Homo-oligomer: A and B are copies of this chain.
Amino acid sequence: MNKDRPIGVFDSGIGGLSVLKQFVRFMPYEKYIYLGDNAHVPYGNKSAETVKEYAKECTEFLLDKKVKMIVVACNTVSAVAMDVVRSVSDVPVIEMIKPAAGAALRATVNGKIAVIGTRATINSKAYSNEILKLSDSKKIKVLSEACPLFVPIIEEGWIRHDATRLIIEEYLNDLYKTGVDTLVLGCTHYPMLAKLLTEIYPGLTLIDSGEHAAVSAVRVLAESSVLKEERNEYVVKPEIEFFVSDLPANFNEQAQRFLGFEVNSPKRVVPGRSLPK
């Protein structure tokens, strides 16, 4: 396979940009295609059947763009639709849950891990089941907490607001008091709160799914000899093509906040219908 092919990343919206940011951090010399299926956002409150259908369309859209890897930068798809994504993809697939679950197990010292996410992700028990499955030890304890206000407050851009601090403390103080030492950010939006979380709870090790997914991707691409040559130039704007299924007014502003650099305007596409099939 050609090393110059892009890496394809998709999510139901903009949360997956925190994952893309980690990929760019470790592999800035790669080309990326990002698809935000925001005409269907959020996936979390839809049936597994519908999510599988959307995930299949997104995967096929990216394969049509000749990507060399599919990154499922979406916790809902990672939890309920990986069978469909893997069945249609002929390139390696990276998802969110397993890398983060493994990282949490490696990070915890006292065996007490907390997982936070949207209500849908927490109710699915995808992270806690994966952590307990990977763990060969009876000593692991996993606690979970849904933090439904985090996504809207992050999308509002209130990353360091006093209200945000109060919301964090309301959701997490009791959890913190149980003595957990590791906190899995089980929603792709949440890395935006990492600095504030570290400030409030300096004793916690935060697990950013995107970071561990990116390192898994380095490994998988390198083992298949399709990782591009390393380049270290000062790249203000990595090579990323953005596609969305709906065009929200503030996409660029939101994207810049997630990625930390200016982005090109996205192209609007309809994944299911834009394909020749």
On A, residues with C-beta under 8 Å from B are 24-26, 28, 98, 101-103, 105-109, 111, 134-137, 139-140, 160, 195-196, 198-199, 202, 205, 212, 215-216, 218-219, 222-223, 225, 227, 230, 232-236, 260-261
Contact = CB atoms under 8 A, between A and B. Distances in A.
Copies in the complex: 2
B199 A25 contact: no
Of A24, A140, A212, A234, most B-chain CB atoms within 10 Å: A234
Of A24, A109, A218, A232, most B-chain CB atoms within 10 Å: A232
A218 B216 CA distance: 9
A137 B234 contact: yes
B109 A261 contact: yes
A233 B195 contact: no
A233 B198 contact: no
Contacts of A225: 223
A212 B108 CA distance: 22
A135 B105 contact: no
A5 B12 CA distance: 43
Contacts of A28: 106
Contacts of A98: 232
A236 B234 CA distance: 39
A195 B106 CA distance: 20
A233 to B, nearest CB: 5
Contact of A234 (B108, B202, B212, B215): B108
A196 B199 CA distance: 8
Contacts of A136: 233-234
A98 B218 CA distance: 18
A40 to B, nearest CB: 31
A232 B106 contact: yes
B160 A202 contact: yes
In the complex, the 3 A-B pairs of residues with the closest C-beta atoms, listed nearest first: A102-B232, A222-B222, A134-B232
13 contacts: A105-B233, A105-B234, A106-B232, A106-B234, A108-B234, A109-B261, A136-B233, A160-B202, A198-B199, A199-B199, A215-B218, A218-B219, A218-B222
